[in-house]
Amino acid sequence: MNQMLKAISITDNVKDWLENSQQPKILHIFDEVCNLINEKKEILSIVNKEIGNGPFNLVIEEQVLFSKHIDVDSKISIEDNQLRIGDLAISFAYTQDWNPMPKWEVLKKNKNEIINRLSLLQMDIENESILQFSNLLSNAIIKTDIPIIKNISSKLAGLGIGLTPAGDDFLMGAMHAAWMIHSESDAKKITEEIANIATPLTTSLSGAWLRSAAKGEAGELWHEFFDALIKDDNVYLPMSKILSVGETSGSDALTGFFSVINEYSSSFS
């Protein structure tokens, strides 16, 4: 008997995935997340609402243990505003749209004040493998030095272990910083080059996050962090939420962000 679930939040990326996927497969199964991948290697993450919104997340209202209901051989079908996986039937007929784009224009407009505030915070790079490349990458991003960016990205891509290796998380954070300090055209140029170089060298899930970052997209916790910067609110709570993601994923991403921001601050001080 199918268990009926209700999706409450969706992005345009997810809508496109649901409309255009012909042969989706299960990529990962965890208690609170199930990742699917289609024939174009695009990811859809079905997540409990505690995980929250993301560029390719379909957020469901009910608490469910995916690992209890789904295995790697579970059949997948998409029809009549329903996504069926094993004995789960997820309705996405009445979802709320969520926009994964942070308020980049507002952040750019106030970037000098924001960067002055951020320069008072420190994120030390503890991973020696990343440390050897961090200054070169950050400086190249500030100068829009594409050859150096491509070279360093190829060395950081896939560096580390896990579904999103540390080098990729660092790159993603650096890409978010690029979107904040540069014009839209320069940010696109920089981040698309990073994603194009790094995606083939890393995991499918990590590649999906890098492609999203190249479009200027970010997860909900980053939106909370950026909104706190815009409103001049306390940033420690949203930062702590990012830091709690994964074993080191959140901290590696924040380190990448601060590496670029601090280099930018030093260059123009």
Domain spans, the chain: 3-97, 104-267
DSSP 181: H
The partner residues of 6 in beta bridges, in order of sequence, read: 91
**Reported confidence tier of residue 232, pLDDT bands at 50, 70, 90:** confident
- Output 143 or 128, whichever has higher pLDDT: 143
* pLDDT band at residue 109 under the 50/70/90 scheme: very high
pLDDT tens string 114-133: 998 888 887 776 778 888 89
Reading phi first (left if > 0) and then psi (alpha if -120 to 50, else beta), residue 62 is in beta
Per the CB < 8 A criterion, the answer to whether 49 and 61 are in contact is yes
Q: What is the pLDDT of residues 58-100, one digit of tens each?
A: 999 999 999 999 999 999 999 989 999 999 999 999 999 999 9
* % of the chain with per-residue pLDDT over 90: 87
Q: Say what the pLDDT of residue 269 is.
A: 58
Length of the chain: 269
| 76, containing H or E segment | strand 76-79
Cα–Cα dist 40/95, whole Å: 25
User: How large is the average pLDDT for residues 1-16?
Assistant: 93
Give the Cα separation of 257 and 177 in Å (integer): 5
Quickly tell me which residue has 């996050």 as its tokens. Answer: 209
At 1, the pLDDT band (50, 70, 90 cuts) reads: low
Closest CA to 119 of 33, 207, 235: 235
What b/e readout covers 236-254, taking b as 16+ CB neighbours within 10 angstroms? eebbebbbebeebbbbbbb
Q: What is the pLDDT of residues 154-200, one digit of tens each?
A: 999 999 988 999 999 999 999 999 999 999 999 999 999 999 999 99
Distance CA 129, CA 96 (A): 41
